[in-house]
Amino acid sequence: MTPEPITPAAPQPLQLARAWRRGRIVPLAAPVAQEQAALAAAIGPGGVEALECRWGPGVVLGSGGSRGGGGAGRRWCLLPLGRLQASAAATGQWLEGLGLDPAACLHLNPLPLHHVSGLLPWLRARQWGARHRRLEPAWMRQPALLAQAAPLPKHRPVLLSLVPTQLQRLMAAPEGERWLSRLALIWVGGAPLPVELAQRARAAGLPLAPCYGATETAAMVTALPPRRFLAGVEGCGPALPGVELRCAASAGVAPGGAVELRCGRLSPGWLEAGRLRPLPLGPDGWWRSGDAGRLGPDGLELLGRLDGAIHSGGETLFPEELEQRLLAAAAAAGLPLQALLLLGVADAEWGQRLIALVRPGAGADGAALLQRLQGLCAGWAPAERPRRWLLCPELGPSSLGKWKRGHWQRWLQALEAGHSPVDSGADEHLQR
């Protein structure tokens, strides 16, 4: 019999701890019908009892849609408790290297338990003997309310994990920025950290620690120390203890390649219709993610998604990297740019070309903004310059800071087909 997934309506941490003591594997999903149905289909009618006999207690979590290792789309990953604990131990060693005692810390948690980055803060605190406090989602959207509802202790280091969207919202208000400045460390992951936001955080002296990881890796496997971030170092930092990292050569990706890692805490695999599909590993135990990157003296620098790369005029382009470059140039020029997304479309001559979706700041002249952005790209290589520019007032990432590129690709396709996307109001501007 399939066990009922734990939902946020239940006392999740206590319920989860009791289930683990009984040797159970607990499926976790968002309280959304589509998510619950997808999880039930992945588990199948036989439940997870057979997995418990082999792997012991643990969880089944939905991935962020990684396509690494040859799969496609969202996966429901098995994470045994021992591997989650190994992740927590590695993070604790990393903190000790910074001079912080993990047991003395307060770990604040604004993310849901069914997200790997929401599960690990609670588990880390439980394993370290530290304190843990849940932050309500509504507080994260109202910095003044957060500062009042979650006052920070004066004599205890406070840790926080955020996605870039949450960081940006808090920094938009003086109360939020002051509250953040009192933290000992702020891990930022789940999505690329915008260049302009990183610059603002450095100017404010915020102790950010950009990191990299996945559901399949039981959360973060690299982290950049805050002092290196504040010194101007880019990227996600070196590998955590127990993790080996490399960027394997990939066609058209120079001087980097596919991000690969090897460690003892990888997910055994993901569930499909009641069967465990093993995580595909190389003969020497390396797992290839769906990301491209390069390694330097300060660790990992991400280039973008391998499955999001486009091939234009014989060049391999990573839209995320170009977005960051243009966002940085726009910030330096003081342009009122709220959001930017570059998408690839088929082109008979080039193979693929880029189209830019642009969301201006409130009250900004959209047409003038597009002209200025085109001017910033004038010196770029021809394949890197977007062929067309579209105003898209509703453009933005998900609540967890991830860009749903498939959604905006469909939005663009509807516009191309002559159908007005719902609530679009977008105007098309051709690049001259």
Q: Residue ranges per domain, the chain?
A: 12-306, 309-430
Superfamily of domain 309-430: ANL, C-terminal domain (3.30.300.30)
Thinking of the domain 12-306, which architecture would CATH place it in?
Answer: 3-Layer(aba) Sandwich (3.40)
- Cβ proximity of 203 and 177 under 8 Å: no
Cα dihedral 318/323/325/331 (nearest 10): -170
* pLDDT per residue of the chain (432 residues) written in tens, 0 to 9: 445 454 444 447 889 999 999 999 999 998 888 888 999 999 999 999 999 999 999 999 998 644 344 334 579 999 999 999 999 999 999 999 999 999 999 999 998 899 999 999 999 999 999 999 999 988 998 999 999 999 999 999 999 999 887 898 899 999 999 999 999 999 999 877 888 889 999 999 999 999 999 999 999 999 999 999 999 999 999 999 999 999 987 555 556 788 999 999 999 999 999 999 999 999 899 999 988 899 999 999 988 878 777 878 767 788 888 998 899 899 999 999 999 999 998 887 787 899 999 999 999 999 999 999 999 999 888 889 999 999 999 998 876 677 888 889 889 888 877 765 543 333 333 232
Exposed, middle or buried by CB within 10 Å (0-12, 13-18, 19+), for 48?
buried
What's the pLDDT score for residue 251? 52
What's the pLDDT score for residue 194? 80
What's the pLDDT score for residue 69? 40
C-alpha to C-alpha distance for 292 and 314, rounded to whole angstroms: 18
β-sheet with 208-214: strand ranges across: 131-134, 106-109, 158-162, 185-188, 208-214, 219-223
Name the one residue in this structure whose structure tokens are 């599909």.
Answer: 277
Name the one residue in this structure whose structure tokens are 């003395």.
Answer: 104
Task: Read off the tokens for 322.
Answer: 């170009």
**Shortest CA distance to 385 belongs to which of 335, 424, 329?**
329
**Shortest CA distance to 94 belongs to which of 124, 114, 115, 73?**
124
Residues near 217 by Cβ (< 8 Å), separated by ≥ 6?
87, 261, 263, 265, 266, 267, 287
Name the CA radius of gyration of the chain, rounded.
Answer: 22
Label residues 219-236 b or e (16+ Cβ within 10 Å = b): bbbbbbbbebbeeebbbb
Residue 225, classed as helix, strand or coil, is coil
